Amino acid sequence: MTIQLLIDGGGDLPASMNDQHSIKNVPLNIHFGEEQYKTGETIDLPTFYKKLKQSEELPRSSSPSPNDFYEKYKEVDRDTPILVLALTQGLSSTYESAVMGMDMLLEEDPERKIAVLNTRTASCGIALLVHEANTKIEEGLDFEALVSHMEERIEKTTTLFILKTLENVIKGGRLDRMKGTIAKTLNIKLLMKASDDEGAVEVTEKVRGNKKSIRRFVDQIGEYAHDLEDRVIALSHCNDEARGRKVLEDIKERYNPKDSLFMETGPLISTYAGEGGLVIAFFRD
């Protein structure tokens, strides 16, 4: 059975996954002052990073409109079911737009099969879910069984973040400037997590020093999953491939996962994480 997977600009995928499975993507909007861009369409990552360095203020992001989703749904053959894996509600109203777009489609054509899921994750967490969905589609799951399975997988998805620099969280007002200056002076690194209930990003630990914070970042995985040998781990990096690959190798050496996914963070996560920021996602016990 053919099932169309659809994500938005809050999800980051390895290029090979896009090419192999024809995933549809509804871009987010990125605003640098009065200039507006669509992620992956009217701005690429090198241009984004260049503008980010030149800008005194962080860019704003806004969710796609319901009509953006509706138009993308209309591109799919009406006999093909659509599963939307939307960016966490904890970071954006993208999920609500996807649902409203679905309602518009069903009002026009009530026989269409479509489901919109709030993934409660972002970046490589969505890649992990896309990988899982593709695996189950290849195994022959029908649409209803796939939706049910993915709802269960979302409940088990853990997404962890580490920031190398605090520049962007200070600039964006997410960390008080005075506290941020003290933290920078003391070389404090933030470990963060997407909350299980809403998928909002919350600080879980503050660790002093780069090596110690990376070690703790990797250690945390074992607190959520005791055996990764039959599981996949996904990692995304913010404009620092060498750091990302080194940490992924540390994870593979420590936990020996069945497979791994590696990619770069898109504009949404990069805006807040800053250069060297990393995200990992996996299914917990």
**Tokens 């008080």 belong to residue:** 176
- Which domain covers residue 254, as residue numbers? 157-283
**What residues pair up with 278 in beta bridges, in sequence order?**
162, 237
pTM over 0.85: yes
**Residues 144 and 251 both lie in one domain:** no
Tell me if residue 4 falls in helix, strand or coil: strand
Start-to-end CA span in the chain (Å): 30
Number of domains in the chain: 2
Q: What does the pLDDT look like over 55-105, one tens digit per residue?
A: 888 899 999 999 999 999 999 999 999 999 999 988 889 999 999 999 999
How many CB atoms sit inside 10 A of residue 31's CB? 12
Of 194, 228, 222, nearest in space to 124 by CA: 194
CATH (domain of 57): 3.40.50.10170
CATH (domain of 174): 3.30.1180.10
**Residues 144 and 172 both lie in one domain:** no
Q: What does the pLDDT look like over 166-210, one tens digit per residue?
A: 665 656 555 555 455 555 555 678 888 888 777 777 888 888 888
